Chain A
């Protein structure tokens, strides 16, 4: 199975004035297309940094990063932005919706950023996604006037808008109660099976992790565990 994301000997050191903090050490890791994966680890273990490097939001200090077979750590910023727009969907612990726009407009935002022209197709797609996440009724509300669960579900629909090859989720249920958490994971699974989208989900909740196909454990900047179910 082809690899959607591949890290080769990735290291990351944060430099803050005279203090340099190494966070990742020579990490080799790759994820197969269409797989459903989780990353677990204590806070400060470097799992978020790993995810951000995989998502090209952050650059590694050493090593190479490949997304859909293309090396990203040497790309120009605009190239990376375009790659991110077309192949990666992000879901963060905090929803990061634009409060100035409606739920539907937030979902359409990645499409607008990509400068795509098929207005009607995009519109239909946004409606479909909002339907999938159960927000058909509130899609024209300003995102700031929605509940926390609704906001996070909008963010999920947004992450899926441009048919990304991979969705990277950093503790997506961190702010949600257990009912919402449960239904969110069902939704992820559903999307994974329906669209073949690869998922990499960071979580500190073992019960959630155990429901995924592969669990990668991170400890002190190194891979401590890699279990395929």
Chain B
């Protein structure tokens, strides 16, 4: 443990230098934690907003006729696919809503509400009224405003062949996605099947999966299982390629920032320790004259790098997390809610610290080798 003891004394004797290096490492690590967490959180909230309230995998008919008659069989076939967290069937068809001469084109969606709620979270977002029963509808808030309708009002929906059906508005929902809030009319599965003469048929079977980024793999497994059925399996990743490439770009830029910060930290430590080996060459020389081995003399600087990295990382993580907390506290929307919902990714935060420690140890390798190669006679002869 002598090398550790010597390393500690060396650090203590040049306190200002030690503190400066620790500050440097801390800033580096805190930038990593801050930028990484911020970008990660942005991505997560973007994904949440994009697919949080929608199915991740959708099974539809691959024929011209969009109706799937054997949805129960399909659900049974994919029953054992890993990672499914919710499943629901839907009977959808376009229709027109016409009130006071204003006509809007809408998508009528017939759901088993309890099952569909697992995917869409619609029941939590009913702003007025309640969930619909048979012959009742839930309309989007945008649509309700446009048509001037609300709970208790009756609406007429006409299908493509001109037949009109009368429904009562049970409630108004607000999912926060304008294309849905302006265009969806939700009713029960039975009502939709009657309205569009589907019998027992549905138009899609929808699923939510545990790991959203594995949706394509789940979809692939399903298509294999459903090979003999006239259906196709889609997943959100294929439908959002632009979003995904945007996210990937962010991930790469975040990674680049982190790599360069790390490189700066490594160079800083390496250069400080290189100077230190020269500064302490007299001490190293005499220690070797007294019998300190080359290995032990190199460990002095390895320990020093490791200790600087360790202390710097701990402070850096604390500083980074404090920055994040103050960011959430002070960077707010006008209503006081934070600009970004932060998702503190503990493995990432701890990983950043651990990587910095390893990098610091790595940075110490060259000075350590220099110390190992130092010959006592050089030091004593050049006194």
Measured between beta carbons, the chain B residues less than 8 angstroms from A94 are 383
Q: A52-B380, A58-B377 are in contact. Are A101 and B293 (CB under 8 A)?
A: no
Q: Does A8 sit within 8 A of B, measured CB to CB?
A: no
A107-135 interface (Cβ within 8 A of B): 109-110, 112-115
Interface flags, A199-221, vs B, CB<8A=1, else 0: 00000000000000000000000
Q: How far is the CA of A101 from the CA of B291 in the complex (A)?
A: 18
Q: How far is the CA of A52 from the CA of B289 in the complex (A)?
A: 10
Contact of B293 with A90 in the complex, beta carbons under 8 Å: no
Q: Does B2 sit within 8 A of A, measured CB to CB?
A: yes
Q: How far is the CA of A178 from the CA of B285 in the complex (A)?
A: 29
Measured between beta carbons, the chain B residues less than 8 angstroms from A115 are 2
Q: Shortest beta-carbon distance, A14 to chain B, in Å?
A: 10
Q: Shortest beta-carbon distance, A86 to chain B, in Å?
A: 7
Interface flags, A78-90, vs B, CB<8A=1, else 0: 1001111110001
Quick one: which of A81, A85, A101, A114 has the most chain B CB within 10 A? A81
Contact of A100 with B383 in the complex, beta carbons under 8 Å: no
Measured between beta carbons, the chain A residues less than 8 angstroms from B290 are 84-85, 90, 109-110, 113, 158
Q: Shortest beta-carbon distance, B253 to chain A, in Å?
A: 44
Q: Shortest beta-carbon distance, B278 to chain A, in Å?
A: 16
Q: Nearest A residue to B10 by beta-carbon distance?
A: A100
Q: How far is the CA of A92 from the CA of B377 in the complex (A)?
A: 12
Measured between beta carbons, the chain B residues less than 8 angstroms from A82 are 291, 293
Q: How far is the CA of A86 from the CA of B291 in the complex (A)?
A: 8
Q: Does B163 sit within 8 A of A, measured CB to CB?
A: no
Contact of A113 with B12 in the complex, beta carbons under 8 Å: no
Q: Does A195 sit within 8 A of B, measured CB to CB?
A: no
Measured between beta carbons, the chain B residues less than 8 angstroms from A85 are 290-291
Q: A100-B12, A101-B9 are in contact. Are A57 and B380 (CB under 8 A)?
A: yes
Q: Nearest B residue to A48 by beta-carbon distance?
A: B381
Q: Which of B12, B286, B293, B377 contacts A96 (CB 8 A)?
A: B286
Q: How far is the CA of A101 from the CA of B383 in the complex (A)?
A: 20
Q: A57-B376, A58-B377, A94-B383 are in contact. Are A99 and B291 (CB under 8 A)?
A: no
Measured between beta carbons, the chain B residues less than 8 angstroms from A78 are 293-295
Measured between beta carbons, the chain B residues less than 8 angstroms from A42 are none
Query: Size of chain A's interface in residues, with CB distance under 8 A?
Result: 29
B361-383 interface (Cβ within 8 A of A): 376-377, 380-381, 383
Measured between beta carbons, the chain B residues less than 8 angstroms from A98 are 6, 9, 283, 286-287
Q: How far is the CA of A55 from the CA of B292 in the complex (A)?
A: 14
Q: How far is the CA of A109 from the CA of B292 in the complex (A)?
A: 10
Q: A58-B377, A92-B380, A100-B13 are in contact. Are A77 and B294 (CB under 8 A)?
A: yes
Q: How far is the CA of A85 from the CA of B292 in the complex (A)?
A: 8
Q: Does A30 sit within 8 A of B, measured CB to CB?
A: no
Q: Does B282 sit within 8 A of A, measured CB to CB?
A: yes
Q: Shortest beta-carbon distance, B291 to chain A, in Å?
A: 2
Q: Does A181 sit within 8 A of B, measured CB to CB?
A: no
Q: How far is the CA of A114 from the CA of B87 in the complex (A)?
A: 71
Interface flags, B201-233, vs A, CB<8A=1, else 0: 000000000000000000000000000000000
Q: How far is the CA of A82 from the CA of B293 in the complex (A)?
A: 8
Q: Nearest B residue to A93 by beta-carbon distance?
A: B383
Q: Shortest beta-carbon distance, A23 to chain B, in Å?
A: 12
Q: Shortest beta-carbon distance, A114 to chain B, in Å?
A: 7
Q: How far is the CA of A94 from the CA of B295 in the complex (A)?
A: 26
23 contacts between A and B (CB under 8 A): A52-B381, A57-B376, A57-B380, A77-B293, A78-B293, A78-B295, A81-B291, A81-B293, A81-B294, A82-B291, A84-B289, A85-B291, A90-B290, A92-B383, A96-B282, A96-B289, A100-B12, A110-B290, A110-B291, A112-B2, A112-B5, A115-B2, A158-B290
Residues of B within 8 A of A (CB): 2, 5-6, 9-10, 12-13, 282-283, 285-296, 376-377, 380-381, 383
Which 6 residue pairs spanning A and B have beta carbons closest together?
A85-B291, A100-B9, A96-B286, A100-B13, A57-B377, A84-B291
4 A-B pairs besides A57-B376, A86-B291, A98-B283 with CB distance below 8 A are A52-B377, A92-B380, A96-B289, A158-B290
